[in-house]
Amino acid sequence: MNNISFQSVHFKASTHLEEFVTVKLSKILDQDSSIIRADVTLFEGASGNPRNRFCEIELSVPGDNLFIKKNSENYEKSILAAVTALQQIIHRKKKKHINKLKKHRETQ
């Protein structure tokens, strides 16, 4: 079973924001059963930067942990950017693994 740990630093995240994270991450967790857990951290950066809403996501995967950090003018956009980037990373890793298996089978 996949586990999502949610943390907001120096502010209380709304229920809507937590549900948004859960829905978006569930798509990734459903695609890859090897993901053990997801740690999500939301925080605000320097106040002078208009794109100061940060989202960090770390996926615990056997052998590797995947980490991404994205920022935007609001948390929803930061979360979407982080999830999209993770989906791309996972897709590339799967494709690389499949190609490696194909090459291995061809050499036998």
Q: Quick one: pLDDT at residue 1?
A: 39
Q: Quick one: pLDDT at residue 2?
A: 56
Q: What's the number of domains the chain is made of?
A: 1
Q: How far is CA 86 from CA 32, 69, 93, in A?
A: 11, 10, 10
Q: Quick one: pLDDT at residue 50?
A: 76
Q: Quick one: pLDDT at residue 47?
A: 80
Parent domain of 35: 3-107
Q: Output phi, psi for 79, to 5 deg.
A: -65, -45
- Model confidence pLDDT, tens digit, residues 51-94: 899 999 999 988 889 999 999 999 999 999 999 999 999 888 88
Question: 39: which strand partners?
Answer: 5, 58
**3-state secondary structure (DSSP) of residue 22:** helix
Which CATH number is 76's domain given? Answer: 3.30.160.100
Q: How far is CA 60 from CA 33, 34, 63, in A?
A: 11, 9, 9
